[in-house]
Structure 1
Amino acid sequence: MTATVLVVDDEPDLKEVILQHFERQIGEGQISFMFAHDGLEALQSVQGNPQIEVVLLDLNMPRLDGLSTLQKLQQADDMKSTIIVSAYGDMENIRSAMNRGAFDFVTKPIDLEDLELTLKRTVRHVNMMRDIRRRQMEAERAHASLSRYFSPQLAARLASGSEGDGMDVHSREIAVLFTDITGFLSLVEKMSPSILGDMLNEYMFGMTEIVFDYDGTVAKVVGDAIQVLFNAPADQTDYATRALSCAHALDNWAENFRLRWKQKGVDFGSTRIGVHAGTALVGNFGGARFFDYTAHGDTMNTVARLEAANKILGTRICVSGDVASRADRFQGRPIGQLMLRGKSEPIQGFEPLSVADFESDNTASYLKAYAKLEAREADAVSAFAALVASNAGDHLAGYHLRRLLNGAGGVRIRLE
């Protein structure tokens, strides 16, 4: 690519001298020259000729001196690499020019061999900066395109294209969040496709924006369900806390969304959320031609079972003791030792609560009733009955009361 140099000098013979010295390079297309007699003419040339990349600028010129011209060149969006020309004894002005952003300098009388070397060095710098800008623009375009389809963490890693970016399948400790909507299939059967499409797109946009706020990675969207990973692909020391905070935010947003559509006469179901933490195989499972960044393993099966358990328990969020124990200052109500479908050992389940709900009288009463349930005390029935009587909306207390009335006891709960 030809480098274009603007020579700004009022010496009448300089143009002929430069063209003669660089005749071979000009003929080979390595370099081309333009000429201006003073700073004002130089600024006009730069404005009208965006191909100019290097400016050879004399400091001592009429109308607009070199330092003033340099300052205006540096203020432009497309700054040019400037080589200052000045008398050998004028080091103060040369130093001032270098401090203002000049790339290099040559002294008068101009040594053409020195000028040639200086121009070569400057052109190499220009080419390097051009390549950096090109790569940056390509990365930005790639990131913008990928961000339409992937979580921000994945988009950033894919756009960088760096080796060892964590996309290969590997074992990793993660927290995973899984959401689903109650009664969604019946809603699909009843609603027109256009309304359903608008509603589901609005729902998914709102939910995924919240996930991104907590730096979660959306691994899958299947119908109305969303699978979210934390601590993958990037390390997050607080991944369990992030997952639980994200679950609260998703629950609040989904409930407001459901109530808004209910006012429009649409019975949009509640969003159920499960959260668990453990080891999983994480990475791209799509092979060489298809990208499918997700996680597999027992951790994923467990979180799906926890999400489904909400339907039986009457809760909207059900989390495991594994994620609760890794979180910072977890606050929630114990549900029981859950025997999930397909599992041989129970897992401790909790309903996470906001600070206000955790500190409420209802939660204090629940914890006392649960302690009686755990100890198999006979008055556990009356304790849960009093809870339900004072707060009919406490569905988890209602679930325990029904278990007790049906002859069950203790906190081990088999969920099928």
Structure 2
Amino acid sequence: MSKILVVDDESDLEILIKQKFRQKIRQNEYEFVFALNGIQALEQLEQHRDIELVLSDINMPEMDGLTLLSKISENNSLLKSVIVSAYGDMENIRIAMNRGAFDFITKPVDFKDLEITIDRTIAHVQQIKHTLQALKENDILRMYVDETVLNFMGKKEVEMAIFDNETVDASVAFIDIVGFTKISENNSPDVVVNLLNDYFDVMVKEIINEKGIVDKFMGDCVMAVFKGSYHLDRAIDACLAIRDRIQELPARSKEGFKPKISIGINSGEMVSGNIGSCTLRRLDYTVIGDVVNVAARLQSAAATNQILISEENYERIKESFSCRKVGSIEMKNKKNPVVVYEVIS
């Protein structure tokens, strides 16, 4: 549902809006909030933080629409405004556009044109939100958090993205290239980096195919997070595919190396947020908690080309995957041994 604020001192416009868009209101596509002037509009924006679009007249008492535009641009660069006014002269249009208006519609209102404009503007807002989310989840934002980016994207929105944190139910996988340390000790930096990047690229493609997020690269290990529906199944599917793709890669005779992997997967509640130092401007959007620690220890315990999961996770996926009981292993900070299973196929 898209929430829209209509700002106009003509009270009959509220009745018209509700009549013309009654179907979309009933279908929960639109929700309208109303204000009679710019002052009331700012109050409504405080109360309804999820408003995505403002439709505003220009000539209103107490605070006019052009002043309201300036206030909105200062406080919320994600929020888009469309001017709906009888004052359709070029001077007013230019002032409105310079103050951040997304579009301009003249009265009397053509409601079909208004509907098209609303849909187009909301689609634009959603695209910006998706871009911000992608920046946050794909580890780009934390690499370029400087004043230029903050000014370009809007300080308030970027700060909200940076400091947002939550508890999520997700799956995490640690995928390690077995024995790669030997390569780094016996070859030139160019060979080491290029070879490692080639192997990582294979892994990343399979992680993305299952809608996973590459959380970080740690030496010769990849940490991946899977959220949303069937996240554990998708994590296992990705890891099985990675194991198959890595096994298909040829041996590197010059370096004397055949790539192999070991994998640990765990699932459950974990804390998701930006961890690091604000002073250094180095923040790592990541997941932390016991579930993540167990996944890392499962990877450490895994043999070559082995994918390990806990017994609890085995119970959740045993009807979908072929597994073999490995036994119990001791884990740091765990009072009792953890029963683990190997995912075969």
Instruction: Give me the whole-angstrom Cα distance separating, in 2, the residues matched to 1:345 and 1:308.
Output: 18
The answer on whether the counterparts of 1:168 and 1:284 sit within 8 Å (CA) in structure 2 is yes
C-alpha distance after superposition, 1:351-387 (max 9, x if no partner):
1112xxxxxxxxxxxxxxxxxxxxxxxxxxxxxxxxx
* Structure 2 residue corresponding to 1:319, chosen from 309, 312, 327: 309
Partner SS for 1:267: coil
| Runs of 4+ that moved beyond 3 A | 116-151, 161-173, 263-266, 286-291
Partner SS for 1:247: helix
Structure-2 change in CA distance of 1:276 and 1:135 (3 Å): closer
* Structure 1 residue corresponding to 2:271, chosen from 278, 281, 285: 281
The answer on whether the counterparts of 1:176 and 1:277 sit within 8 Å (CA) in structure 2 is yes
* Structure 1 residue corresponding to 2:173, chosen from 174, 177, 189: 177
Q: Which has the higher contact order (CA 8 A, sep 6+)?
A: 2
Instruction: Give me the whole-angstrom Cα distance separating, in 2, the residues matched to 1:147 and 1:170.
Output: 13
Structure-2 change in CA distance of 1:309 and 1:141 (3 Å): closer
**Mapped pair 1:308 → 2:300:** yes
Structure-2 change in CA distance of 1:340 and 1:269 (3 Å): farther
Instruction: Give me the whole-angstrom Cα distance separating, in 2, the residues matched to 1:128 and 1:181.
Output: 51
Aligned-pair identity (%): 24
Instruction: Give me the whole-angstrom Cα distance separating, in 2, the residues matched to 1:147 and 1:198.
Output: 25
Aligned to 1:225: 221
The answer on whether the counterparts of 1:167 and 1:293 sit within 8 Å (CA) in structure 2 is no
Aligned-residue offset at 1:25: 6.3
Write out aligned runs for 1:107-256 (5 A).
117-118=107-108, 131-132=121-122, 135=125, 138=128, 149=139, 168-231=164-227, 235-236=228-229, 238-256=230-248
The answer on whether the counterparts of 2:184 and 2:192 sit within 8 Å (CA) in structure 1 is yes
The answer on whether the counterparts of 2:251 and 2:257 sit within 8 Å (CA) in structure 1 is yes
The answer on whether the counterparts of 2:136 and 2:161 sit within 8 Å (CA) in structure 1 is no
Instruction: Give me the whole-angstrom Cα distance separating, in 2, the residues matched to 1:167 and 1:255.
Output: 40
Partner SS for 2:302: helix
**Mapped pair 1:350 → 2:336:** no
Larger C-alpha radius of gyration, 1 or 2? 1
Aligned-residue offset at 1:224: 1.2
C-alpha distance after superposition, 1:103-147 (max 9, x if no partner):
xxxxxxxxxxxxx84479899779767755764665576678678
C-alpha distance after superposition, 1:73-95 (max 9, x if no partner):
xxxxxxxx9xxxxxxxxxxxxxx
C-alpha distance after superposition, 1:26-77 (max 9, x if no partner):
5x62479xxxxxxxxxxxxxxxxxxxx99xxxxxxxxxxxxxxxxxxxxxxx
Instruction: Give me the whole-angstrom Cα distance separating, in 1, the residues matched to 2:200 and 2:329.
Output: 30
Partner SS for 1:280: strand
Q: Which amino acid aligns with 1:256?
A: E
Q: Which amino acid aligns with 1:322?
A: E
Aligned to 2:262: 272
**Mapped pair 1:298 → 2:282:** no
Instruction: Give me the whole-angstrom Cα distance separating, in 2, the residues matched to 1:305 and 1:263.
Output: 31
Instruction: Give me the whole-angstrom Cα distance separating, in 1, the residues matched to 2:117 and 2:169.
Output: 44
Instruction: Give me the whole-angstrom Cα distance separating, in 2, the residues matched to 1:140 and 1:176.
Output: 23
Partner SS for 2:335: coil
Instruction: Give me the whole-angstrom Cα distance separating, in 2, the residues matched to 1:119 and 1:342.
Output: 67
Partner SS for 1:292: strand
Give the length in aligned residue pairs. 235
**Mapped pair 1:335 → 2:326:** yes
Instruction: Give me the whole-angstrom Cα distance separating, in 2, the residues matched to 1:30 and 1:121.
Output: 21
Q: TM-score, normalised by structure 1?
A: 0.47
Q: Which amino acid aligns with 2:299?
A: E
Aligned to 1:29: 91
**Greater strand share, structure number:** 2
The answer on whether the counterparts of 1:276 and 1:322 sit within 8 Å (CA) in structure 2 is no
Aligned-residue offset at 1:270: 1.7
Structure-2 change in CA distance of 1:136 and 1:300 (3 Å): closer
The answer on whether the counterparts of 1:274 and 1:318 sit within 8 Å (CA) in structure 2 is yes
Instruction: Give me the whole-angstrom Cα distance separating, in 2, the residues matched to 1:321 and 1:166.
Output: 35
Structure-2 change in CA distance of 1:251 and 1:275 (3 Å): same
Q: Which amino acid aligns with 1:169?
A: N
Structure-2 change in CA distance of 1:214 and 1:341 (3 Å): same
Instruction: Give me the whole-angstrom Cα distance separating, in 2, the residues matched to 1:275 and 1:227.
Output: 10
Instruction: Give me the whole-angstrom Cα distance separating, in 1, the residues matched to 2:109 and 2:328.
Output: 76
Aligned-residue offset at 1:307: 0.9
RMSD: 4.2
Structure-2 change in CA distance of 1:150 and 1:317 (3 Å): farther
Instruction: Give me the whole-angstrom Cα distance separating, in 2, the residues matched to 1:146 and 1:168.
Output: 10
